[in-house]
Amino acid sequence: MSDAYDIDDESERGRKASFVQVTAFMWKHWSSQPGKLAMVALLFGLSIIVDLAMPFASKHLVDALAAGPSAEGVRAATWGYVIIVSLALVFYTARNTGVRFHIPFASKNMERIVTDGFRDVQRFSADWHADNFAGATVRRVSRAMNAYDVISDTLVWFLIPAIAVLIGVTVLTFMQWPVIGAFTGVTILTFIAVAYFSSRYYVAEPLKRYIRADTAIGAALADAVASNATVKAFGAETREQARFDGVVQSWTKEANTTWGRFTNAWVVQNILLWVLQAGLLGLVLLEWSRGRASAGDAVFAITSFLLVSGYLRMLGENVQNLQKGIADLEDVVAYALEIPGVADAADAAVFAPGAGRIVFDDVSFGYKKAADKLYSDFSLEIAAGETVALVGPTGSGKSTFVKLVQRLYDVDGGAIRIDGQDVRTVTQGSLRQSIALVPQDPALFHRSLRENIAYARPDATMEEIIDAAKRARAHEFIDKLPAGYETEVGERGVKLSGGERQRVALARAFLAGAPILILDEATSSLDVATEREVQAAMAELKQGRTTIVIAHRLSTVREADRILVFNEGRVVEQGKHAELIAARGLYAKLNAMSRGELLADEAA
């Protein structure tokens, strides 16, 4: 598989659910609907009993026919006919009625599996999402729903009936002919053992590689399609096609290996079916030749063989289907069992918004792959209503600061308090609803402009949405669109310009009305005219809010109440623009560099 999509590097290693865990997961969903489960079991169980009775009914009818057209023979044949027809009617009625219960039973469980999988993925930390291909995750969650369907159908329709019928036929045959019953039982056990061991030890590993290759296709597609603008910008369609072809070729290789092994296993199983057919019929003929079996007994044996061989074929094929279904479900079961990196406490309260005072109290924090901590005993206070700018070199801790404020990560030591509340003691959702974020590259949903603006407050009225758009200087361009606020913006807002996306994000922040505002490089990619419009909107948005501004373009932070200069996880300078320029420290150097100048001592 292509190294670029070796999805096991981060996302799968050590995160597979065991067979017992998958079984418990399936039972949890089955037992959530006990009434429907009982009806499915009752009706399909009835159809199994009918299947077991059919060879006896066939024997009775043939013996009656062999007796000749006497009055007694006609009565016996008539009863045989009635029994067979009645059994068939019960079988079809039970199966079809069972399906009526199984359909809503299965669809509800499939709905829960995919919605729970989505819920689990959403609760994982920023680190988890950074380590996982979005396309691979989508593929796993969507595939789990179909995996449940495969497992459930395989068990209900094939494996459980097959096992019940095989045991029943073996026992009933043994009671009449011990030798034939023993031969049938040994052959069936051998078949089951071959099916299990070939599936467990011969097919299992290639099957897992095949599933990983299938997941890699989803990852590769999502990666290239989501970045289509970049692909076109560099004229790289041919290169991306070649890259994707390599991923698909890896899948083809694994598919051929896996399917080839499935076929090899089926060859062995078919040989055993032939042995069962030859041996069973041969032994019955031997008993007949010795006068110990009637024509009806021979029909009983033939019918039993047809019944058993049909179920054995299904058993062999469906053991492998079951294994594939379990393998497809393992990831989502593991998601349900995985402890998220950032989790709400059991007694977490709803965050109570206040004036927006933020305190870092002796905070220590480091990323999981970093050798050293970024913050050590870091303390800082931002007053309610204060506008604070964070500046400094790349990697100095600015973005980490705002991620910790949002509790996208948990601190290793110390505490972060907002309006006196430790962020770890409140629910993440309620905390983030009190923080409005306007990022450098706003991520819009492939939905209407109205829905995107109202994302912070889905219950907002149309008048409130339009008012927020006007304050963000977005109403004018929206109003000119043919569909206005109902215009779909495309994936990640691709149909809008950078400035339009920024203004939509600002409108969303206006509508949120949160006491804390984070502006993360919100104007860095805009032209001068658009930047002025956005700056004017941001100036209005900052009124009455605690505002944190991250900027590399220092011209955008001169009006801040306080500028914090970060370097290697510490605030090395702070003050107003003029004060920091006069201090001739790091800020002055960054300012000179942003203007294409050198300080006097550097020029010397």
Q: 385 — alpha (psi -120 to 50), left (phi > 0) or beta? A: left
153 and 228 in one domain? yes
Q: CA-to-CA distance for 599 and 491, rounded, in angstroms?
A: 45
Per-residue pLDDT reduced to its tens digit, 181-197:
888 888 888 887 887 78
Residue 216 neighbours by CB under 8 Å, 6+ apart: 1, 2, 5, 6, 7, 136, 247, 250, 251
- State the burial class of residue 405 (Cβ atoms within 10 Å of its Cβ: 0-12, 13-18, 19+): buried
Q: Which domain holds residue 49?
A: 10-337
Instruction: Report pLDDT for 525.
Output: 57
CATH of the domain at 193: 1.20.1560.10
79 and 62 in one domain? yes
Mean pLDDT of 72-83: 82
Per-residue pLDDT reduced to its tens digit, 433-461:
898 888 877 878 888 999 999 988 888 99
Instruction: Report pLDDT for 35.
Output: 92
Least confident interval from 77-86, 291-300, 414-423? 291-300
Residue 509 has pLDDT above 90, yes or no: no
Residue 600 has pLDDT above 50, yes or no: no
Among 337, 353, 376, the domain-final residue is 337
Q: CA-to-CA distance for 38 and 456, rounded, in angstroms?
A: 44
Number of compact structural domains in the chain: 2
User: Residue 330's closest CA among 7, 4, 16?
Assistant: 16
Q: 291 — alpha (psi -120 to 50), left (phi > 0) or beta? A: left
Determine what percent of the chain is predicted with pLDDT higher than 70.
91
316 and 220 in one domain? yes
Among 337, 360, 395, the domain-final residue is 337
User: Residue 388's closest CA among 587, 585, 551?
Assistant: 551
Q: CA-to-CA distance for 506 and 322, rounded, in angstroms?
A: 51
> Which is it for strands 387-391 and 546-550: parallel, antiparallel or unpaired?
parallel
Q: CA-to-CA distance for 83 and 58, rounded, in angstroms?
A: 9
Q: CA-to-CA distance for 291 and 299, rounded, in angstroms?
A: 15
User: Residue 489's closest CA among 520, 456, 439, 443?
Assistant: 443
383 secondary structure, DSSP code: -
274 in Cβ contact with 178 (< 8 Å) = no
User: Residue 5's closest CA among 252, 341, 250?
Assistant: 250
Residue where the block lists tokens 């901590």: 373
User: Residue 391's closest CA among 516, 519, 498?
Assistant: 519
Q: Is residue 23 in some structural domain? A: yes
271 and 154 in one domain? yes
Give the SS3 label for residue 448.
Answer: strand
Instruction: Report pLDDT for 234.
Output: 67
Residue 125 has pLDDT above 80, yes or no: no
Mean pLDDT of 592-596: 71
Residue where the block lists tokens 């290639």: 206
pTM higher than the cut 0.75? no
Mean pLDDT of 291-320: 72
Q: CA-to-CA distance for 288 and 300, rounded, in angstroms?
A: 12
Mean pLDDT of 405-416: 92
Please indicate whether residue 113 or residue 592 has the higher confidence score (pLDDT).
113
Q: CA-to-CA distance for 139 and 382, rounded, in angstroms?
A: 43
Q: CA-to-CA distance for 430 and 126, rounded, in angstroms?
A: 17
Residue 530 has pLDDT above 70, yes or no: no
425 and 287 in one domain? no
Instruction: Report pLDDT for 12.
Output: 46
Residue where the block lists tokens 């049938």: 184
Residue 467 neighbours by CB under 8 Å, 6+ apart: 510
CATH of the domain at 602: 3.40.50.300
Residue 13 has pLDDT above 60, yes or no: no
Confidence of residue 11 (pLDDT cuts 50, 70, 90): very low
Question: Sheet holding 375-382: strands in order across?
Answer: 375-382, 358-365, 413-418, 421-422
Mean pLDDT of 276-295: 78
Mean pLDDT of 535-561: 80
Among 300, 315, 337, the domain-final residue is 337
CA distances in angstroms from 39 to 95, 99, 102, 168, 560, listed in the order given? 11, 10, 9, 22, 69
